[in-house]
Every structure is written in structure tokens, then in C-alpha cells.
Amino acid sequence: MITGKSILLIISGGIAAYKSLDLIRRLKERGASVRCVLTDGGAQFVTPLSVAALSEDAVYQDLFSLKDESEMGHIRLSREADLLVVAPASADLMAKMANGHANDLASTILLATDKPVLIAPAMNTRMWDHPATRRNFQTLLQDGLHAIGPGAGDLACGEVGSGRMSEPLEIVAAIEGILSDTDAPLKGRRAIVTSGPTYEAIDPVRYLANRSSGKQGHAIAAALADLGAEVVLVAGPNSLVDPAGVTVRDIESADQMLAACESALPADIAVCAAAVADWRVAGEAEQKMKKDGSGQPPALNLVENPDILATLSQLNGGRPGLVVGFAAETETVVAHARKKRARKGCDWIVANDVGAGTGVMGGDQNTVHLITAQGEENWPTMAKDAVAIALARRIAQFFDAGFDADFDANSDAE
Ligand code: C5P
């Protein structure tokens, strides 16, 4: 899919720059040409010679180099690329990009380009969590940039948390997803995606909820839109940025989620990634409930919520052609998920282990199994947005058997 494409890879300063050398190889193996820009920080971590040898091209480092500018001006560097990839994207370079700075070759190219840009952030977890970085990241997403990662895990600085640059093969999959935009295998397809938790009101100020962040569902909506689908994202309360190019319907309760899904029909694809509350409180109190002095808690009568996945799966007339559910399990994940697929009547189940200690709920990584009528696939642990890209590509393959959706990170392991 990326054979013959030109990638301009900008390597900024961070220990993750060593993974960018592997990224160059992975892209070249797949037939892409890779031209590299190394920032001053990047050159502290990898040498221009390594980058030049792997990319089999000159390495561009200096905005004011008479030689570089006469051979290949900074505007031409971006004009001749199909995609710009910033990996690693340091906190500093993201701050420059978000604020429109152009004081070195990398930031100038990024300000001057009209090509799609993918960033793979990598930094210390405290830098990633800093409000300034979060602000800059959100600005970049709102500006329409694509992002992959960062993932969570052990960081080179000795700390543990979010900030690890995505693995080269995850970045390759993201690149393939973006570049397949032009082919848009899901163009003309309509998709409904549910995401996040639901809030079930007890009274005007209290509610029942769960810990779902919505990260996986939002990432799926973005990945389907990247492949050209027209996506309605029905989202429970969350603190995420609305994905670009997606119609978002914000709801609170399961009843509202079902109504929003039904009004988004007809659709070709439904992906139910929301963590819908199983029960709601019967008869929400109109006024804030008060302690009555008896020391006895009030009785909350619960009634079962509609099952949105089962409802969409079992529609008589107007059923989406492909209905995908999720199964968050804490034990015997695959066996439970198989039963769930049959019980709900959906086509595929994406099963994951959310047991204590997996860090999946609210985290950035996910290890999933795809259960279909044909059997089961065990996918490697990936960032949630990489899972989303792989799932979107499998969905595209379902509708277009000629579309190559292979995503097996293990097959490339050395
Ligand atoms: O039954 P369980 O909650 O484990 O099933 C999970 C799957 O069903 C998820 O895809 C979830 O989005 C969906 N679901 C739903 N409506 C419900 C409960 C779950 O759509 N009321």
C-alpha cells in the first residue's frame, strides 16, 4: 500500500530516535522512499551517517545551509513528499508546531506544508502529562494532524507511564491508514460507533457510571473516518477531543445512546465499543435525595438497560451489514467472548482482558482477540489507536475482499 510513496521523516530529539532508524528500514522494505530531516536534538541521539545510510539519501539538517537549500529547498522537501512523519515528536517540537514557530528546518517545513502530517510523540511521562503538552497536542489534533501513541510502559528515563513512542510497525500501520485515504476503501459506507461510559442518573446531581475513558471507541471512529467512512460517533461523557471528520452525538444515558444510534441508521457498519451501564435507577428522583436521619440508606431500584449491541444486531430490516461488539472480560476471555457473540447476534467480537493489573481500563494499550464466525485471531499488544487502525482495515477488507488488511506485527519480528 505504501510502495512508491515518499515519506519525509522528521527525527527530533529524544532517546526514541533509535527506533526511527528501524522505522526507516520498515518503510524501505515496503517500497516507500524515505527522506530524513534531523533536528539538532535528534542529531544528539542518532548520527546523520546512520540516517543517510538507512534512507539511502542525503540528510537535511540546516535551514540556512546554502548547499542544502540550493540542492533541495525546504519547500521542495515537503512538496515532494506524500506524507510528513514526525517520529519522535518531542515536547519542544510539538510546542513549536502548535504555535506556528519556524526557527529551524523541521519547524519551517512543518509550517510550510500542505501535506498530511503524522506525529508520534515520545517524552518523559511528566512532560507528556504537563498541561502545556496536553494543550499543544489537542491543538495539533484540532489542526487536523494525525497522531499515533504515545504508549505506556517503562521509559528510558527510568520512570513508568505514558510517553513511549509507538513501535515502528504501529507507526507503519498508521502511515498505511493515512495513505490509504486516497484509496478510501470505506468511501460511501456509513458507520455508527458507540464510545465511552454511560451515566445513569440517580437524582439531579448523582449518577451511576464506570471507568471507561472512550479512548478505544474514539480511536475506532477516527480510523474508520480515515478510511473514508461517514462516521457518527455516539459518545458517552468523556474528556477526549472529538475526532476530526466525524459527526459526534454526545449523550449521557443508555436510553439516549440507543435513541442516537437508531436515529443514525441506516448504516453499513456498527461498532459498539461503549461501556454501557447494565442497569439504570428506576424512577430518577426529581430533587436531590436527602438523608432522612434514620441512618438507613435509600433503596435504589435498578432496571435493566436496553442492550444496544443486541438491538442493532437483531434488527429486522435495516440491520447494518457488519456489527462489531466488544467483550471486556476478566477471565477465560475468548470462551466468554464466543458465547457473547452468539448471545448478542453480532458478527464480530473484539475481546480484551480488563482484569486488575492489565491497565486496559483508562490506559493506552490493549491486547485483543478478534472473534468471527470463522474463528479467532490473537492480536499482539498494541496502542489503542493501533488496534483501531487494524480493526478499521479489517472492516474495509470485509467490504472489499481485494483490500489488503494484513496486520500481523509478529510476522515482521526478527
Ligand atoms: O454484555 P456486555 O456488557 O459484556 O457486552 C459488551 C458489548 O455489548 C459491548 O460491545 C458493549 O458496547 C455492548 N453493550 C451494549 N448495550 C448494553 C450493554 C453492552 O451495546 N446495554
Q: Which atom of ligand 1 is nearest to the CA of 309?
A: 20
| Whether 197 contacts 209, CB under 8 Å | yes
| pLDDT given at position 407 | 44
Distance CA 223, CA 371 (A): 20
| Whether 238 contacts 216, CB under 8 Å | no
* 41: nearest Cα among 15, 60, 21: 15
Choose between 410 and 184: higher pLDDT. 184
Band of pLDDT at residue 361, cut at 50, 70 and 90: low
* H/E run at residue 327: strand 322-329
Span 342-369, mean pLDDT? 84
Band of pLDDT at residue 392, cut at 50, 70 and 90: very high
147, pLDDT greater than 60: yes
What is the 335 CA–ligand 1 centroid distance (Å)?
A: 16
Span 182-208, mean pLDDT? 93
Task: Answer yes or no: is the C-beta of 258 below 6 A from any ligand 1 atom.
Answer: no
Q: Is 157 known to be catalytic?
A: yes
Q: What angle do CA 401, 325, 338 make, to 5 degrees?
A: 90
Q: How many CB atoms lie within 10 A of CB 239?
A: 7
Domains of the chain: 6-181 (3.40.50.1950), 185-285+293-405 (3.40.50.10300)
Q: What is the pTM of this model?
A: 0.66
Task: Answer yes or no: is the C-beta of 307 below 6 A from any ligand 1 atom.
Answer: yes
Pocket test for ligand 1, best of 193, 276, 348 (most atoms within 8 A of CB): 276
| pLDDT given at position 414 | 27
Task: Answer yes or no: is the C-beta of 276 below 6 A from any ligand 1 atom.
Answer: yes
* H/E run at residue 390: helix 384-399
Band of pLDDT at residue 67, cut at 50, 70 and 90: low
* 334: nearest Cα among 381, 372, 382, 278: 372
